Amino acid sequence: MAVPKYKTSKARSRTRKSINMKLSAPKLVECSTCGNKVLPHRVCPKCGFYRGKQVLNLEDIG
Amino acid sequence: MRHRVGFNRLDRRSSHRKAMLRNMVISLFRYERIETTKAKALECKRVAEKMITRAKTDSVHNRRTIAKDMNDKEILNKLFTEIAPMFDGRPGGYTRILKLGFRQGDAAEMVILELVEKTTDKKDDKKKAKKSAKKEEAVAK
């Protein structure tokens, strides 16, 4: 059976991970109504607006 | 051939899934807006839209066909007399899904599933009043 001849060095494995396991920050856009940062295509959790329309009444939820 | 037409099993047995979707569709027609997970909403949507399309023509046969999957006579009547007529002239797309974000606990994506048009005009007026009030608040902020 084929077996690795050398132990993978820390540098080698970390170099590999640095590219493949990179985390990326979430893409955020500004809510067009209140300017809060929100995930794109989602209802703004602060003001309840989506695409310029009130879709959630936050007072009702409490 | 019914090839490549799949559906989401939602991790439930057939009977469980069927019962859940029935309940969800009845809730959707009763409240006209429900909050659920994205996966459930997509499955509920296809059941609901098929029902509305059928309910557009009110006949005994259509009523019985839908009654097979709806154990609430009141809502069945509402579907045929109030909901379906609103969508005359709309070729599908009777529901809307609004994404809300991720649920604490299991990070499931939560959505609002709602009918594109609502039955109660009075409620709409109230909402509009609230909306304009909200907008003013938002602008003031």
Complex ipTM value: 0.70
Phi, psi angle pair for A30, to nearest 5° = -90, 135
pLDDT score, position B132? 60
pLDDT score, position A54? 78
Instruction: Determine, for residues A43 and B130 on separate chains, whether the beta-carbon distance falls below 8 Å.
Output: no
**pLDDT tens digits, residue range A4-62?**
999 999 999 999 999 999 888 989 998 888 888 999 999 988 888 888 877 777 666 54
**pLDDT tens digits, residue range B125-138?**
555 555 566 556 66
**pLDDT tens digits, residue range B92-117?**
999 999 999 999 999 999 999 999 99
Taking any CB pair shorter than 8 Å as contact, residues of chain B touching chain A are 98-101, 112, 127, 130-131, 134-135, 138, 141
Chain A residue with CA closest to B114: the answer is A55
pLDDT score, position B113? 95
- How many C-beta atoms surround the C-beta of residue A14 within 10 A? 11
3-class secondary structure per residue, chain A:
CCCCCCCCCHHHHHHHHHHHCCCCCCCCEECCCCCCEECCCCCCCCCCEECCEECCCHHHHC
Beta-ladder partners of B113: B34, B97
Chain A residues within an 8 Å CB radius of B118: none
